[in-house]
A and B are shown apart, each in its own frame.
Chain A
Amino acid sequence: MSHEFNDDVGKKMGMWIFIFTELFLFGGLFLVYAVFRANYTEGFHSAAADLDAFVGTLNTVILLASSATVAMSITAVQKGNNKLALRFIIVTVILALAFMVNKYFEWGHKFDLKLYPGSEIMEQLGKGEILFFGLYYMMTGLHALHVIIGVVLLMISYFKVKNGTVNSQKFIFLENSGLYWHLVDFIWIFLFPLMYLVT
């Protein structure tokens, strides 16, 4: 009596459409960034100098590597090597956590310097700087939220691979989680230069 559809092509299509909406969600913020960067070029440059480009680069490398490992886990499942796939998923999750730890220290450092919206030091900065940091917190914050969602999806995939619901015949869940993870990576690829490298 079940009328569930087992349409992997449809599921993948659904994931792609969802990724479009995510891109438009961030697109709104990128638009705001573009407007204010045009209006306050100087302020953006000087504020970006306060960000630690080394931490940013490190996080970029971490995310790129994690995109590779998640892709490898999919290939491993397709080839029937579930054990290897599980290992790759774990590595991906560890890399994601490393990213978040970096982010935590980065934000923490800013808070120590009292560089957060509404602080006294912040209010003495120029308008361009204030807006830059507003965008910095909002965009990286929203991105971090997506990292967390991605990690949750990967962990579910892990258990699905483990109990065999994801296997070499049926791996769409892992594939879609991987797609989502690439999206997280993709957005960061744009955030990184716009935030850290515009000095």
Chain B
Amino acid sequence: MESTQATNHVSYLQHKPHKIGILNWILSTDHKRIGLLYLYSIMVFFIVAAFLGLLMRIEKFAPGETIMDAQTYNGVFTVHGIIMIFIIVIPGLAAVFGNFFLPILIGAKDVAFPKLNLFSWYIYIAGAILALISQFASGGAPDTGWTFYVPYSADSSTNVIWALTAAFILGFSSILTGLNFIVTIHRLRAPGMSWFRMPLFPWSIYATSWIQVLATPIVGITLLMVIAERTLNIGFFDPALGGDPILFQHLFWIYSHPAVYIMILPAMGVVTEIFPTFSQKPIFGYSAIALSSVAIAAVGYFVWGHHMFTTGISYWSRWFFSFLTFIVAVPSAIKVFNWISTMYGGSIDLKPPLLWAIGFIFLFMIGGLTGLVLGALATNVHVHDTTFVVAHFHYIIFGGMGFAFFAGLHYWFPKMFGKMYNIKLANISFIITFIGFNVLYFPLFIIGLQGMPRRYFDYFPEYQYGHVISTIGAFILIIGIFIMLFNFFRGARKGEIAPANPWKGVTLDWQIESPPTLLNFDEIPVITEKPYTFKKEEEA
């Protein structure tokens, strides 16, 4: 017994059963190492895709051809979209923080199926490599946009098949991860942790996982149908053969709208962990937040038609989809009210994680409210396919999911690596990123309202002021992000040793060592009270 005690207290990062260093990573079924595998893969791809985004902004600095021609531009925005959506934000928070912290937060030693978990990462990497091949193989980078709309995706002579297959495989990885998390939450909660004693990040992962499991196969079969159309002359979407291109859009958005919640729900879960810790106050409206995750997952299934208001779908279906789009905004708003109420009257400690989380609320609100402009029938027609959509989308995905990701990194970094980053530098990088973000995307709302179409490499001179400001913002944003990454790398290498509980959190993740031991807990904890119960100094 004593000898096992001793080995148990080696951190998961020092646990190296294999002689060759890399094998300790790629053969490890430890959920924490797998989480980091996802983190590193996502970081690499993020830098690539962000660089492509920067190239697009440089192209648009002046009207006409600036640094690339139209076809190259089409390829660049497609590749940017495919990498960002399928490789970064869909797995994103769930794969990184879900893997690392879901078992810890529910008091488990690992996920339910550790081997399957590692296998999912391999599938993910296979898909990511296929996506990369699609960029460089001989046919030319795919130029359909990440939405793969037919008929163009059935006709384009570029490497669309590679990209479709990549998306299919990445979807499979996503399904297996979701399946794993659902079973983990059902089966491995610590004794005494009833559903309503579970922290809220696991709740959001639970809702996300169900969407992953039930929505992803729809896009899977849809992508297969496009592949069949390109290779086997099966024309479900080809009017010449009796098919219907609008049907593709329905099937695509039946998945891809819920996919937005696959991205944003874990983000909401992360900030829900951050607000109580930095307010030293229990979360306000625990059950409302928990159940609103489930409500979002359920209602989010039935709003896909709001992407198709201009395709000629019937009046009543447009009415229905628009109405439900407004309804689905309600649970998101409930969460925002609860986060703010949590801070109200708390002893607020404005550390970097909280800064990023507040930045998240601010940007997510702008994204959400402009989403209602798009969800309303009349205004949608005006701004459809303009940069207004691009701006809205990036406020939600980058301002929402991205900022929450960075919030989570700043929050859990000391736990994951046992080291601390420089707080001052983190604050500076937040401010620069936040300013850069708004300078980059806000002008796109304005020129979008004025009629600037999305996905164009060229534009009329009257839009130039907006594009110039936006491009300047892109550079500011990139600088902010690089300062942040530099801060993390320096922190991980030679930062101060982090204590077990630097933020005075009360969830299980802060009750164990930093970094955690291989099995997280020496003894599985027994849960006797609700999460987020902060004790007064005297009581403790």
A residues within 8 Å of B by Cβ?
Answer: 1, 3-5, 7, 9-11, 13-14, 17-18, 20-22, 24-29, 31-32, 35-36, 39-40, 43, 117-118, 126-128, 130-131, 134-135, 137-138, 142
Residues in B neighbouring A137, C-beta threshold 8 A: 232, 234
Q: Is there an interface contact between A17 and B232, defined as CB atoms closer than 8 Å? A: no
Q: Which B residues, 126 to 170, have Cβ-Cβ distances below 8 Å to chain A?
A: none
A62–B244 alpha-carbon span in the complex (Å):
36
Q: Contact check, B241 vs A127: say whether CB atoms are below 8 A apart.
A: yes
Q: Which of B113, B216, B218 contacts A27, CB < 8 Å? A: B218
Tell whether B247 is near chain A: CB-to-CB under 8 Å: yes
For the complex of A and B, list the 10 residue pairs with the smallest distance between their C-beta atoms, beginning with the closest. Answer: A127-B242, A118-B233, A28-B221, A25-B217, A24-B217, A134-B234, A117-B233, A10-B187, A21-B217, A17-B179
Asked if A138 contacts B217 (CB within 8 A), the reply is no
Instruction: Please state if B217 and A40 are interface contacts (CB–CB under 8 Å).
Output: no
CB of B449 within 8 Å of the partner chain: no
Q: Which of A13, A28, A32 contacts B217 (CB 8 A)?
A: A28
Decide if B236 touches A131 in the complex (CB within 8 Å).
yes
Taking A28-B218, A137-B234, A138-B225 as contacts, is the C-beta distance between A17 and B213 under 8 angstroms?
yes
**Complex formed: what's the CA distance from A3 to B242 in Å?**
55
Residues of A within 8 A of B188 (CB): 5, 10
Interface residues of B in 200-217 (CB under 8 A from A): 213-217
B346 interface contact, C-beta 8 A: no
Residues of A within 8 A of B114 (CB): 3-4
Please name 19 pairs of A and B residues whose Cβ atoms are closer than 8 Å in the assembled complex, sorted by A: A3-B519, A10-B186, A13-B183, A13-B187, A18-B175, A18-B179, A20-B213, A21-B175, A21-B214, A22-B217, A27-B217, A28-B218, A28-B221, A28-B222, A28-B251, A35-B247, A36-B236, A117-B233, A131-B243
Tell me, in angstroms, the Cα distance from A18 to B222 when the chains sit together: 18
A-B contact count (CB 8 A): 106
The answer for the CA separation of A35 and B248 in the assembled complex, in Å, is 12
Q: How far is the CA of A21 from the CA of B242 in the complex (A)?
A: 28
Main secondary structure on A side of the interface with B = helix
Residue of A nearest to B239 (CB): A127
Residue of A20, A40, A134, A137 ringed by the most chain B CB atoms within 10 A:
A134
Q: Which residue of B lies closest to A29 (CB)?
A: B221
Closest chain-B Cβ to A27's Cβ sits at a distance in Å of 7
Q: How far is the CB of B273 from chain A (nearest CB, A)?
A: 25
State which of A17, A118, A126, A130 has its C-beta within 8 Å of the C-beta of B182.
Answer: A17
- Bound: A126/B241 CA distance, A: 9
Q: Which residues on A sit within 8 Å (CB–CB) of B251?
A: 28, 31-32
Q: Is the CB of A24 within 8 A of B112?
A: no
Indicate if the CB atoms of B241 and A134 lie closer than 8 Å. Answer: yes
Knowing A14-B179, A18-B179, say if A25 contacts B242 (CB, 8 Å): no
Whether B234 contacts A25 by the Cβ 8 Å rule is no
Instruction: Give complex CA distance A187, B151 in Å.
Output: 30
In the complex, what distance in Å separates the CA atom of A7 from the CA atom of B109? 14
By beta carbon, the residue of chain A nearest B187 is A10
A114 CB to nearest chain B CB (Å): 13
Hey, which chain B residues are within 8 Å of A117, CB to CB?
232-235
The listed residue (A24, A126, A135) touching B218 by CB distance below 8 A is A24
B110 contacts the other chain (CB 8 A): yes
Flag if A17 contacts B183 (CB, 8 Å).
yes
Complex CA gap A131/B187 in Å reads 45
**How far does the Cβ of B31 sit from chain A's closest Cβ, in whole Å?**
10
Q: Which of A1, A3, A13 has the most CB of B within 10 A?
A: A3
Contact A32 B236 (CB under 8 A): yes
Output the nearest chain A residue to B7 by Cβ-Cβ distance: A1
Knowing A25-B220, A118-B233, the reply to whether A130 touches B241 (Cβ < 8 A) is yes
A131 and B242 in contact (CB under 8 A), knowing A3-B519, A21-B175? yes
Contact of B187 (CB < 8 Å), options: A9, A32, A126 = A9
Residues 178-194 of B, flagged 1 when their CB comes within 8 A of A and 0 if not, give 01101100111000000
Q: How far is the CB of B129 from chain A (nearest CB, A)?
A: 23
Q: Contacts of B373 on A, CB cut-off 8 Å?
A: none
Contact B214 A138 (CB under 8 A): no
Contact of A13 among B186, B215, B222, B519 (CB under 8 A): B186
A residues in contact with B7, CB < 8 Å: 1
B151, chain A: closest CB distance, angstroms = 16
Q: Which residues of the other chain, A, contact B215 by a CB distance below 8 angstroms?
A: 24
Check B228 for interface membership: any CB of A closer than 8 A.
yes
Besides the known contacts A5-B112, A27-B218, A118-B232, 4 further A-B residue pairs in the complex with CB atoms under 8 A apart: A10-B113, A131-B241, A134-B234, A142-B224
Are B218 and A35 in contact, with the CB atoms below 8 A? no
**Complex CA–CA separation, A197 to B110 (angstroms):** 50
Chain B residues in 8 Å Cβ range of A32: 225, 236, 247, 251
Residues of chain A with a CB closer than 8 A to B232's CB: 117-118, 137
For residue B466, give the distance in angstroms from its CB to the closest CB of chain A.
40
Whole-angstrom CA separation of A39 from B233 in the bound complex: 20
Q: Smallest CB–CB gap between A140 and chain B, Å? A: 13
Query: Which chain B positions have C-beta within 8 A of A13?
Result: 182-183, 186-187
| Closest chain B CB from A183 CB (angstroms) | 13
Distance in angstroms between the alpha carbons of A142 and B187 in the assembled complex: 33
Closest to B248 in A: A32
A7 to B111, CA, bound (A): 12
B242 cross-chain contacts in A, Cβ below 8 A:
36, 39-40, 43, 126-128, 130-131
